[in-house]
């Protein structure tokens, strides 16, 4: 398994460099040798991991996640924060102490050696079926050597390092995710598993529910069995009453640097029969218990509540207090989340409060020692001055700005519109947009093209001058000459990324009117769109405000799309895959553009829908060549493509 994981990482790194970054970090010979070794190991072990380059996972979208009742109800665990109570609970028995991971619990079912179903915990009785999403988790085996029916439970998580990378790529502060658990929950429960695949979700097994015709006496044996099948299992250590305190301290020393979100530990009796003999209460099993960290709590003084408006209109309360040292860092701010919590804590400025770090990471208010309960809830939005209202959603009260024109709501839409893949307006950072929106310069996207009305005001703004203004206006004017795909992407239609925008533009011959009036059925029939995206496009276009905005923007822009020539029937509507080096085109992007301009499509991998694989080394044993041969897809050289499909001479 170690060698398989090493091979998978090496091959995936090489593929990313080759296909996404146009560079080679290993020769075709070396790649193919490693690939063949991986294929042999997968055959020998009967295990195929989800991120193996030998697996092609298709993306799919659904309108909703179906519900399913668990065959065995999933109970919560009884909890303690007392180390001595944990030792007393274990008594003279042997146990396994493991991380209590903070993500989303998933139940996996394997039939005939293949993953057949994945279901979320839900309410413990009924969960949501997320099988397609589970198939794109980073480390779940698609195939295992055990062919009997097998059911196991584990935690889906997004690591802190990946969480920080995802948030770092989001310019809009209000759009950033609050914590890894919330991001993981949303990622696992996506209707489009292509989004799940991009989020780097990992799965760690913590319990074997059933393995057909297999009997185990101890939990440790079950963990070893699962590891042997290719699963990552939660980190665990064997303990008894003499060693448990030391092992707890070892876990505690790791928590601040541990990359996988955790909110405590789980202690389980190693002897399975003994654990089962104890039965269960109405709420908890008696064979396991959870241990929660005893939080470090400090007393301080609440100095201010900062009300922070977001793009959705939600106004988040943030507590500002005298700085205190918690878990080795200085803390002076903590989110209070919503009005219900504000009221529950009976907050008032100057109150003595206690604060701690949830899971030893996230600052929170623990208790209000004063309880003055005199905090004034704003009746006006701090951003726009519009009226606020308290709304009750999911049994929690939150404060919202009611002004549809609130600048905070507009910031994200402006940021997307000016981004590189949309209108590509240089110099228009989110900070600059925020200044312009706050100053009343930008109210609608079309105002970007009339900022010359505010020349004097902009030149006199802090951080600006005549040169900065001239550069910005020059960038705006340059953006007027664009293409329809950039505009479509910049509109921010839910689910429509850069590639989808280009696809729509090509399919409708750069005709925005046709796109605006397309039906859901028509859109869903386009390869790569599907029902979910189609519904989102129709909903967006049916809104009169959006239609007016599109027409207003069209009057400001000049579209210079290269017309798609569908006259070449050899290419129009056909799908090609390009691999290897080229001699007649500068690079693969140039050849790809030529194919797309003739109405064709270029895919990244060979499938049954591929018309031809373009590879100058037609006799190689590369993975793409092998796949093409398996599917009876033509493998042609660059010269053959130019001669037979373009009808040109290579000279």
Any idea which residues carry the catalytic annotation? 100
What is the C-alpha separation between 418 and 446, in angstroms, rounded? Answer: 12
Alpha helices for 355-495 (secondary structure H): 407-417, 430-438, 455-459, 466-479, 484-490
Q: Render 348-384 in DSSP notation, one character per residue.
A: -TT-EEEEEEETTTEEEEEEESS----PPPPSB-TTT
The CB-side HSE value for 191 (13 A sphere, CA atoms) comes to: 13
Using CA atoms, how far apart are residues 399 and 375, in angstroms rounded to an integer? Answer: 14
The position carrying tokens 């020539």 is 565
Closest CA to 104 of 51, 156, 172, 57: 156
Q: Which residue has the tokens 């100053």?
A: 439
Residue 502 has a CB neighbour count (10 Å cut-off) of 17
Per DSSP, the three-state class of 416 is: helix
Cα–Cα distance between 324 and 249 in angstroms, integer?
24
User: 266 is written with which tokens?
Assistant: 């789980």
- Cα angle, residue 641 at apex, residues 639 and 644 outer, rounded to 5°: 105
Number of continuous H segments (helices) and E segments (strands) in the chain = 24, 26
3-state secondary structure of 582: coil
Nearest to residue 206, comparing CAs of 216, 188, 220, 196? Answer: 220
Cα 470 from Cα 478, distance rounded (Å)? 12
Phi, psi angle pair for 522, to nearest 5°: -65, -45
Alpha helices in 52-157 (DSSP H): 83-90, 131-134
Strand partners, 505: none
Closest by CA to 104, choosing from 125, 82, 130, 72, is: 130
C-alpha 143: how far from its chain's center?
A: 24
**Rounded to an integer, what distance in angstroms lies between the CA atom of residue 303 and that of residue 333?**
10
Q: Which long-range contacts (CB under 8 A, 24 or more apart) does 220-223 make?
A: 220/96, 220/270, 222/272, 223/96
CA 302, distance to chain mean position in Å, is 35
Distance, in Å, from the CA atom of 109 to the CA atom of 70, rounded to the nearest integer, reads 11
Strands 558-559 vs 202-211: parallel, antiparallel or unpaired: unpaired
* 425 in Cβ contact with 418 (< 8 Å): yes
């Amino acid at each position: 398994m170690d060698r398989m994981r090493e091979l998978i990482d090496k091959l995936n790194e090489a593929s990313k460099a080759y296909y996404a970054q146009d560079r080679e970090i290993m020769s075709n010979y070396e790649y193919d040798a490693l690939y063949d070794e991986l294929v042999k190991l997968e055959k020998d072990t009967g295990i195929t991991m989800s991120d193996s380059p030998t697996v092609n996972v298709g993306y799919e979208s659904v309108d909703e996640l179906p519900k399913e009742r668990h065959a065995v109800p999933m109970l919560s665990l009884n909890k303690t924060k007392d180390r001595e109570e944990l030792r007393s609970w274990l008594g003279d028995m042997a146990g396994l102490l493991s991380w209590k991971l903070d993500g989303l619990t998933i139940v996996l079912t394997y039939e005939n050696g293949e993953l057949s179903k994945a279901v979320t915990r839900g309410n413990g009785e009924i969960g949501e079926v997320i099988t397609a999403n589970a198939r794109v988790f980073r480390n779940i085996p698609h195939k295992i050597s055990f062919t009997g029916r097998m059911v196991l439970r584990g935690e889906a998580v997004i690591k802190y390092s990946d969480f920080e990378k995802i948030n770092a790529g989001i310019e809009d502060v209000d759009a950033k995710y609050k914590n890894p658990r919330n991001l993981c929950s949303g990622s696992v429960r996506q209707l489009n598993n292509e989004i799940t695949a991009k989020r780097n979700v990992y799965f760690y097994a913590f319990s074997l529910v059933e393995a057909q015709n297999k009997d185990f006496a101890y939990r440790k044996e079950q963990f070893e069995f699962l590891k042997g099948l290719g699963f990552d299992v939660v980190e665990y250590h064997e303990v008894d009453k003499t060693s448990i305190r030391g092992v707890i301290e070892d876990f505690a020393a790791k928590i601040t640097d541990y990359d996988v979100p955790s909110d405590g530990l789980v202690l389980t009796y190693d002897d399975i029969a003994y654990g089962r003999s104890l039965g269960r209460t109405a709420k908890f099993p008696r064979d396991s218990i959870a241990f929660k960290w005893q939080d470090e709590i400090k007393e301080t003084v609440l100095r201010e509540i900062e009300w922070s408006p977001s793009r959705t209109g939600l106004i988040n309360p943030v507590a500002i207090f005298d700085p205190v040292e918690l878990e080795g860092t200085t803390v002076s701010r903590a989110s209070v989340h919503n009005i219900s919590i504000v009221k529950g804590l009976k907050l008032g400025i100057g109150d003595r409060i206690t604060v701690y770090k949830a899971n030893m990471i996230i600052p929170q208010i623990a208790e209000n020692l004063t309880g003055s309960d005199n905090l004034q809830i704003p009746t006006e939005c701090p951003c726009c001055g519009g009226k606020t209202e308290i709304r009750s959603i999911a049994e929690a009260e939150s404060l919202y700005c009611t002004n549809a024109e609130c600048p905070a709501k507009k910031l994200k839409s402006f940021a997307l519109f000016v981004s590189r893949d949309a209108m590509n307006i240089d110099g228009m950072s989110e900070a600059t947009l925020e200044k312009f929106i706050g100053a009343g310069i930008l109210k609608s996207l079309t105002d970007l093209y009339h900022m010359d009305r505010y020349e004097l005001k902009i030149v006199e703004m802090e951080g600006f001058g005549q040169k900065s203004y001239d550069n910005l206006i020059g960038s705006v004017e340059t953006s007027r000459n664009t293409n329809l795909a950039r505009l479509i992407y910049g509109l921010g239609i839910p689910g429509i990324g850069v590639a989808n925008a280009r696809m729509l533009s090509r399919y409708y011959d750069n005709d925005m009117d046709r796109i605006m009036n397309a039906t859901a059925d028509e859109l869903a029939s386009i390869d790569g769109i599907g029902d979910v995206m189609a519904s989102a496009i129709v909903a967006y276009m049916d809104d009169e405000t959006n239609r007016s905005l599109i027409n207003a923007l069209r009057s400001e822009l000049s579209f210079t799309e290269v017309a798609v020539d569908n006259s070449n029937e050899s290419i129009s509507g056909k799908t090609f895959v390009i691999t290897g080096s080229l001699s007649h085109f500068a690079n693969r992007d140039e050849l790809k553009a030529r194919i797309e301009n003739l109405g064709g499509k270029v895919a990244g991998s060979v499938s049954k829908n591929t018309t031809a694989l373009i590879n100058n080394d037609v006799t190689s044993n590369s993975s793409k060549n092998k796949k093409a041969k398996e599917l009876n897809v033509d493998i042609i050289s660059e010269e053959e493509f130019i001669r037979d499909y373009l009808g040109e001479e290579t000279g």
